[in-house]
């Protein structure tokens, strides 16, 4: 493709276009039979990103998101459980970005919110059950003073 001044025009990015069906080969270890060098199986590609422990090569999947616990807290204390679910979603997004420090912090916050929701929800259920028992006992003690006949 030429520009209006008769000079060959480079596509966006300054790289010349390859004819259809031909691919450029990387410089290191590439052959026409194998255009891109293969990584051995079981070896992670060296990205240089420090992982969970601060050292390269750590495992982000070891950071828990506590999503099941957060969803279960809806039946205990739903207001806090909603925030726990939101934090659990943040853990997943930070893990996908490779940000181990923020994923760990969001995981700890999710765990704390779930623990608070569980304790408050359990106390609420215990108080509710005790109140129901007290009201049933009190209702059975109420006597009716409606008189019929000679037994008043």
> Longest C-alpha distance within the chain, in Å?
123
Position 65 in a domain: yes
pTM above 0.75, yes or no: no
What local confidence, expressed as pLDDT, does residue 3 receive?
Answer: 65
- Whether 94 is covered by a domain: the verdict is yes
Q: What is the mean pLDDT of the chain?
A: 76
Tell me the C-alpha distance between 84 and 77, whole Å: 11
15 part of a folded domain: no
**Is 41 within the bounds of a domain?**
no
Please report the DSSP string for 72-115 in residue order.
HGGGT-HHHHHHHHHHHHHHHHHHHHT-HHHHHHHHHHHHHHHH
Residue 95 lies in a domain: yes
Q: Where in the sequence is the domain holding 91, given as residue range(s)?
A: 60-141
What are the pLDDT digits (tens) for 107-131?
999 999 999 999 999 999 999 999 9
Q: What's the pLDDT score for residue 139?
A: 85
User: pLDDT tens across 85-110, in order?
Assistant: 999 999 999 999 888 899 999 999 99
Nearest-CA neighbor of 58 among 44, 68, 71? 44
Average pLDDT on 32-51 reads 54
Kindly tell me if the per-residue pLDDT of 25 is higher than 60: no
- In total, how many domains does the chain have? 1
């Amino acid at each position: 493709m030429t520009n209006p001044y008769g000079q060959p025009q480079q596509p966006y990015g300054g790289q010349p276009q390859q004819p259809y069906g031909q691919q450029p080969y990387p410089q290191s270890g590439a052959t026409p039979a194998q255009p891109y060098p293969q990584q051995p199986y079981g070896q992670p590609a060296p990205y240089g990103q420090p992982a969970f422990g601060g050292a390269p090569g750590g495992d982000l999947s070891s950071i828990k998101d506590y999503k099941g616990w957060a969803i279960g807290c809806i039946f205990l204390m739903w207001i806090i459980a909603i925030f726990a679910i939101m934090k659990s979603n943040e853990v997943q997004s930070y893990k996908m970005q490779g940000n181990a420090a923020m994923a760990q912090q969001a995981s700890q916050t999710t765990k704390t919110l779930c623990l608070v929701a569980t304790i408050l929800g359990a106390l609420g259920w215990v108080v509710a059950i005790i109140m129901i028992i007290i009201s049933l006992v009190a209702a059975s003690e109420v006597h009716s003073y409606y008189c019929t006949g000679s037994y008043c």
